[in-house]
Amino acid sequence: MTVFASERLLFTPITPDNDAIPLIFAFPNEYSVGITSLGYQVVWATLAMRKDVQVSRLFTDIQEQLPRNPKIVGFSISWELDYVNILNLLESLEIPIRATFRDDSHPIVFGGGPVLTANPEPFADFFDVILLGDGENLLPNFIEVYKEVRNASRQTQLKALAQIPGIYVPSLYEVEYQTKDGVVKSIKPIFPEIPAVVQKQTYRGNTLATSTVVTEKAAWENIYMVEVVRSCPEMCRFCMASYLTLPFRTASLESSLIPAIERGLQVTNRLGLLGASVTQHPEFEALLNYISQPKYDDVRLSIASVRTNTVTVQLAETLAKRDTRSLTIAVESGSEKLRQIINKKLHNDEIIQAAINAKAGGLKSLKLYGMAGIPGEEPEDLEQTVDMMLSIKKAAPGLRLTLGCSTFVPKAHTPFQWFGVNRQAEKRLQFLQKKLKPQGIEFRPESYNWSIIQALISRGDRRLSQLLELTREFGDSLGSYKRAFKQLKGQIPDLEFYVHANWSTEQTLPWNHLQGPLPQSTLLKHLADSLYGSHDEEMKSKKTNFFKSDLKLHGIA
Ligand code: SF4
């Protein structure tokens, strides 16, 4: 059976009109990865249900029959380093990889998805059009306007598309820099009718995304995915999953979630509940009760994110009965000071209680997720993380404990976007490893080098496109990026500037013309609050002293 023949569709594709727009919708990775992306599934189904579009899918390993002259080629991007595959796919379609070399004979190349919505600038030169924000309204608006200018010149098409809210046409903005390798000076539209600021789009309906296809070939075999919530109300100061997607929205239990789950469970018995903070759905308990019915006894359940203080014995029991052995909770740190700095409203006793409940409910293991190099972190904070892990072990003996740990990476549109990556983070990861392993606690650090690459792309500007093109030839290790930086010395800023430097809050950010859900003034307020605010006077003076001596952020003291 071919890969596509194994698909069970949960929608009915429409036969396109004769003059439908030939469109290729690509995922820049293998089919198994792409088809597991709920975002990709939903956009594809939306296009396949339109009479005015003839959509064909393209992955790096397989493809449907492609039109000879596509008018639009789109990419959904979930992972930064997939840009290499985008460039390869464009070449295989005989489309110039840089937008500036495309002419009226080439299709419009658009991109969307979390990576581009966060900070599209390093990739801006490769796209004609970038969709910023939720696709629900953006995509139909894009197609409708495109239809109106379908036969016009490329420049007319781009100008028309740039006037749709949330649609960003990078080539219509000019970026000036203080110096060749200095900070951004200004970002301005080239024509008066082009908006100076593009506002990311927010969908406000109470029906969220659900799988449109179930297949055994997906990376999560036969999974049916339901988006329970979108965004997260917690607003941890580093968290893009919260800040970039605000406000927090929930799918209606009666009119949306239950009918969707019933539909999905007719074709599979594997259910995934998705969202940045699933257990914060106001009717989560009712949802859990619904799934606990005996008729769903054979259902395998996965929950994307569980907030630590919502781990009840009932939740653990439901998961254990539904074939889940382990639970992951993000605690970030064992230090109360750091959790206050990042606005994680969580205490060590709640973490310990979560472990006790997980064990009582029959789960075999608990994974905790932490971070090294959080702004304000001192060596004693890491000692506190070790102590916390030991206390959990004591309180819930027999529960297998793992601490996964990444390095803090600044993300655009969050209050911590101005902080660089702490150079000590690698050593600190090693410290945790050394302390936890002998205690029988598994420690799984995320690669520090990968965090550096993430930070580079996360705070990159348009000048990075040259570097990305070069690195593509060298391979995807940190060494390859360093080699490319060496080659471009003097032409672009260095790695230190993008990754490690604390940026001034007065400098123009590469994404200044792209407006997230919150204005910069609010992000600055939240930053100031993190650094200097506290109800506890001792904590306040501790934080103030630390940051005053260490930071050169201006205008927020
Ligand atoms: S609780 Fe998790 S998802 Fe929510 S803001 Fe904090 S880190 Fe982000």
**CA 407 to ligand 1 center in whole angstroms:** 16
Question: Are residues 277 and 161 part of one domain?
Answer: no
pLDDT exceeding 90 applies to what percent of the chain?
87
**CA 541 to ligand 1 center in whole angstroms:** 26
Band (179; pLDDT cuts 50, 70, 90): very high
Tokens 């994680």 -> residue: 344
Question: Above 50 in pLDDT, residue 398?
Answer: yes
Q: What is the mean pLDDT of residues 239-262?
A: 95
| Strand order from edge to edge, sheet including 72-76 | 53-58, 21-26, 72-76, 108-112, 129-131, 167-168
3-state helix, strand, coil in the chain (%, to 5): 40, 20, 40
Residue 40's domain spans which residues?
4-198
Domain assignment present for 193: yes
Ligand 1 atom with the smallest distance to the CA of 242 is 5
**CA 238 to ligand 1 center in whole angstroms:** 9
Band (531; pLDDT cuts 50, 70, 90): confident
List the residue whose alpha carbon is closest to atom 3 of ligand 1. 276
* Residues 6+ positions from 183 with CB-CB distance below 8 Å: 177, 493, 503, 507, 508
Q: What global pTM score does this model have?
A: 0.93
Band (305; pLDDT cuts 50, 70, 90): confident
Band (545; pLDDT cuts 50, 70, 90): low
Question: Above 60 in pLDDT, residue 555?
Answer: no
**CA 268 to ligand 1 center in whole angstroms:** 30
Question: Are residues 255 and 134 part of one domain?
Answer: no
Band (321; pLDDT cuts 50, 70, 90): confident
Q: What is the mean pLDDT of residues 197-205?
A: 94
Cis check: omega of the bond before 13, within 30 degrees of 0: no
pLDDT at 97: 97
Q: Say how far apart CA 235 and CA 246 lie, in whole Å.
A: 9
- Assess whether the C-beta atom of 46 lies below 6 angstroms from ligand 1: no
Domain assignment present for 508: no
Within 149-231, strands assigned E span 167-168, 173-177, 184-189, 198-199, 213-214, 223-227, 229-230
Q: Say how far apart CA 235 and CA 526 lie, in whole Å.
A: 10
Distances (CA, A) of 487 to 204, 463, 480, 490, 501: 47, 14, 11, 9, 21
Find, among 147, 164, 170, the residue nearest to 72 by Cα.
Answer: 147
Band (535; pLDDT cuts 50, 70, 90): low
Q: What is the mean pLDDT of residues 163-169?
A: 97
Question: Are residues 118 and 32 part of one domain?
Answer: yes
Domain assignment present for 522: no
What are the tokens at 142? 């894009």
Question: Are residues 290 and 411 part of one domain?
Answer: yes
**CA 415 to ligand 1 center in whole angstroms:** 13
pLDDT at 366: 95
Conformation bin of residue 269: beta by default, left when phi > 0, alpha when psi is -120 to 50: alpha
Q: Using alpha carbons only, how large is the chain's radius of gyration in Å? A: 24
Ligand 1 atom with the smallest distance to the CA of 344 is 6
Distances (CA, A) of 54 to 20, 24, 34, 60, 73: 6, 8, 19, 20, 12
pLDDT at 554: 46
Question: Are residues 393 and 321 part of one domain?
Answer: yes
Question: Are residues 191 and 81 part of one domain?
Answer: yes
Domain assignment present for 207: no
pLDDT exceeding 70 applies to what percent of the chain?
96
Question: Are residues 487 and 403 part of one domain?
Answer: no
Q: What are phi and psi of 103, to 5 degrees?
A: -130, -170
Query: DSSP H helical segments within 366-408, as ranges?
Result: 379-395
Conformation bin of residue 94: beta by default, left when phi > 0, alpha when psi is -120 to 50: left
198, 28 contact by CB (below 8 A)? no
Domain assignment present for 159: yes
Q: Say how far apart CA 365 and CA 355 lie, in whole Å.
A: 9
- Assess whether the C-beta atom of 340 lies below 6 angstroms from ligand 1: no
The one-letter code for the residue type at 526 is: H
Per-residue pLDDT of 274-291, as tens digits, reads 999 899 999 999 999 999
Band (497; pLDDT cuts 50, 70, 90): very high
- Assess whether the C-beta atom of 277 lies below 6 angstroms from ligand 1: yes
pLDDT at 182: 93
550 versus 41: which is more confidently predicted? 41
Domain assignment present for 306: yes
Question: Above 90 in pLDDT, residue 540?
Answer: no
**CA 555 to ligand 1 center in whole angstroms:** 27
Question: Are residues 59 and 172 part of one domain?
Answer: yes
> What single DSSP character describes residue 446?
P
**CA 337 to ligand 1 center in whole angstroms:** 17
Q: How many domains does the chain fold into? A: 3
pLDDT at 557: 42
Question: Above 70 in pLDDT, residue 459?
Answer: yes
Burial 452-480 (b: 16+ CB within 10 A, else e): bbbbbbbbbbbbbbebbbbbbeeeeebeb
Helix (H, G, I), strand (E, B) or coil at 493: coil
Q: Say how far apart CA 275 and CA 225 lie, in whole Å.
A: 10
Give me the CATH number covering residue 351.
3.20.20.70
Question: Above 60 in pLDDT, residue 161?
Answer: yes
- Assess whether the C-beta atom of 330 lies below 6 angstroms from ligand 1: yes
2 versus 152: which is more confidently predicted? 152
pLDDT at 547: 64
Taking the alpha carbons of 215, 218, 223, 226 in that order, is the dihedral positive or negative?
A: negative
pLDDT at 495: 96
Question: Are residues 132 and 109 part of one domain?
Answer: yes
Q: Say how far apart CA 341 and CA 63 lie, in whole Å.
A: 47
Question: Are residues 419 and 493 part of one domain?
Answer: no
pLDDT at 326: 85
Band (536; pLDDT cuts 50, 70, 90): low
Band (550; pLDDT cuts 50, 70, 90): very low
Question: Are residues 414 and 388 part of one domain?
Answer: yes
pLDDT at 544: 63
The mean-pLDDT minimum among 99-113, 147-161, 211-225, 305-319 falls in 305-319
Q: What's the distance, CA 454 to chain centroid?
A: 11
Compute the half-sphere exposure of residue 475: CA atoms within 13 Å on the CB side of its CA.
5
- Assess whether the C-beta atom of 235 lies below 6 angstroms from ligand 1: yes
Mark which of 148, 182, 198 sits at the end of a domain: 198
Domain assignment present for 539: no
Per-residue pLDDT of 339-366, as tens digits, reads 999 999 999 999 999 999 999 999 999 9
The mean-pLDDT minimum among 89-98, 206-215, 471-480 falls in 471-480
pLDDT at 147: 98
Mark which of 419, 451, 483 sits at the end of a domain: 451
User: Which residues sit opposite 370 in a β-bridge?
Assistant: 332, 405
What mean pLDDT, rounded, does the chain reach?
93
Question: Are residues 486 and 420 part of one domain?
Answer: no
The one-letter code for the residue type at 111 is: G
pLDDT at 272: 95
Question: Above 60 in pLDDT, residue 159?
Answer: yes
pLDDT at 476: 79
Q: How many residues does the chain have?
A: 557
Domain assignment present for 507: no
550 versus 381: which is more confidently predicted? 381
- Assess whether the C-beta atom of 229 lies below 6 angstroms from ligand 1: no
pLDDT at 205: 85
Question: Above 80 in pLDDT, residue 329?
Answer: yes
- Assess whether the C-beta atom of 242 lies below 6 angstroms from ligand 1: yes
